Amino acid sequence: MSVQAIIDQIKTYHPKADISLVERAYKLAAKAHNGQKRLSGEDYISHPVEVAKTLAELKSDIPTICAGLLHDVPEDTNIPLSYIKKNFGNEIAFLVNGVSKLGKIKYRGEKRYIENLRKLFLSMCYDIRVVLVKLADRLHNMKTLSYLPKDKQYRIALETLEIYAPIADRLGIGTIKGHLEDLAFPYVYPKEYKRLINNVKEKYEDRENYINFIIPKIKQYLESEKVKILDIHGRAKHYFSLYKKLEKYEMNWDKIYDLIAIRIIVNDIPDCYKTLGLIHKNWKPLLGRIKDYIALPKPNGYRSLHTTVFCINGKITEFQIRTPQMHKEAEYGIAAHWAYTEAGKLSKDAYRNNNQLPWIKQLQKWQKEIKNSREFIKYLKIDFFKDRIFVFTPKGDVIDLPEEATPIDFAYHIHTDIGHKCAGAKVDGKLCSLSQSLKNGQVVEIITKKEKKPNPDWLRFAKTNYAKNRIKNWLRKNKN
């Protein structure tokens, strides 16, 4: 396997980077893994090379790409971490060690597995790059999953859907999230996957023909209105994402309007809104299907305008409108913000800023508060990795919650004392039940009273483990 493809990719985004370090890392990895084979029969070096390629596609810095090439060396060969530290420096050794510590977490018993998962999230708090190497590692392992025994295939694919794809989503890396989900889908839900594939082919072809027919007409219309179109193309929905949406609509294909959406890239934010206005001027929008993720970005930083209209020949069509920077952020997430110095290093603020994402701050807080690792992972699966909604405080602050969260979850998310003293809630200015499920975009106000205390009944409808834990702790301390 050649290192040249990795070098070529690096040069596209950082031409002044120190490539010699990457070449040295490749040579050491090739020597260390010499004679080792993957279960697919390929030389083992193919794996670290693919990992490093993915990291280069994410525009990672040189130490991260070197760590991708060397990540299995201390674990699977006779070359120790001390050798990497001596020859490649502290930073690369730190990243390699961070990935090695996570180990082959699925093969060492449940207790060890849960401990290692916790380490994964702890490393996310300290240096995002360790997790990026792990995501790239998982992506290539998923591509070769068919060579593993059946029981391992299911377990690894399920873990990918439950843990790794949501991490990629939380980091805003749409391209890796979609690939991981689609690779895991046939192993976790084989019957549903076959059914979807059998049904989708013809629908995709019809939709693609229609999109190819209307794109030139839409481009011509917008340019005649003095909008400069940098790019316009159709974007097919990922299979797993499509399956989840069909599930939501009771497998009704007629409710899926974004099987293939039209993505329009324009110069700047004013042009985004101008384009939206022109589309609505020409074609009637569907009520409730206009989403402004520019004014109100998703919690993972995603920005774009979405609208669904009755387009040419009355066909319902979704549009996504964004700038080149927004598109970059949607594909590469946090990596889209990384800036490089002349020396080929990421600027000092790169990780500091990324590690200040609100949910990473919450992770840091939870790492300290929740000592039991099994409970910690349970929290993550519900409170962090479920499908998200975002609602607002009366002052306009965005609060990020799992789907089906209630005003009680909202109250405890704001502050433990607000939760404890919650006497009622208003949603969009109207009084509502504390058990009511919140919906995207609602404004939530919590009514508190000094004498109010947590009610055991709240445990029946609180959805987040965080809220449940706070209620249980209070009830335990105040038994009498």
Q: Which single residue is written with the structure tokens 């404890």?
A: 420
Cα 144 to Cα 152: distance, rounded to the nearest angstrom? 12
Q: What are the CA-CA distances from residue 311 to residues 203, 220, 262, 306, 411 (Å)?
A: 18, 15, 11, 14, 42
- Write the CB contacts of 397 (distance below 8 Å, at least 6 apart in sequence): none
Q: What are the CA-CA distances from residue 28 to residues 66, 75, 116, 353 (Å)?
A: 10, 14, 27, 33
Q: How many CB atoms lie within 10 A of CB 445?
A: 17
Q: Which of 42, 43, 75, 403 is catalytic?
A: 75
Cα 445 to Cα 428: distance, rounded to the nearest angstrom? 8
β-partners of residue 234 are: 262
Phi, psi angle pair for 147, to nearest 5°: -85, -5
Q: What are the CA-CA distances from residue 401 to residues 59, 283, 465 (Å)?
A: 30, 34, 12
Q: Where are the beta strands (DSSP E) in 297-436?
A: 305-310, 316-322, 388-392, 398-402, 422-427, 430-432
Q: Which single residue is written with the structure tokens 């990020």?
A: 400
- Write the CB contacts of 468 (distance below 8 Å, at least 6 apart in sequence): 459, 462
Burial letters for 421-444: b for 16+ Cβ neighbours within 10 Å, e otherwise? Answer: bbeebebeeeebebeeebeeebeb
β-partners of residue 309 are: 285, 317
* Catalytic status, residue 91: no
Cα 241 to Cα 185: distance, rounded to the nearest angstrom? 10
Mapping DSSP onto H, E and C, the string for 241-289 reads HHHHHHHHCCCCHHHCCCCEEEEEEECCHHHHHHHHHHHHHHCCECCCC
* Catalytic status, residue 250: no
Q: Which of 23, 42, 43, 76 is catalytic?
A: 76
Instruction: Indicate the DSSP class of residue 43.
Output: B
415-420, long-range: CB within 8 Å, 24+ apart, which pairs?
416/470, 418/446, 418/448, 419/454, 419/467, 419/470, 419/471, 420/452, 420/453, 420/454, 420/470, 420/474
- H/E stretch holding 52 reads helix 46-57
Contact 283, 310 (CB under 8 A): yes
- H/E stretch holding 229 reads strand 229-236
Structure token pair of residue 140: 């290539």
Contact 398, 365 (CB under 8 A): no
Active site residues: 75-76
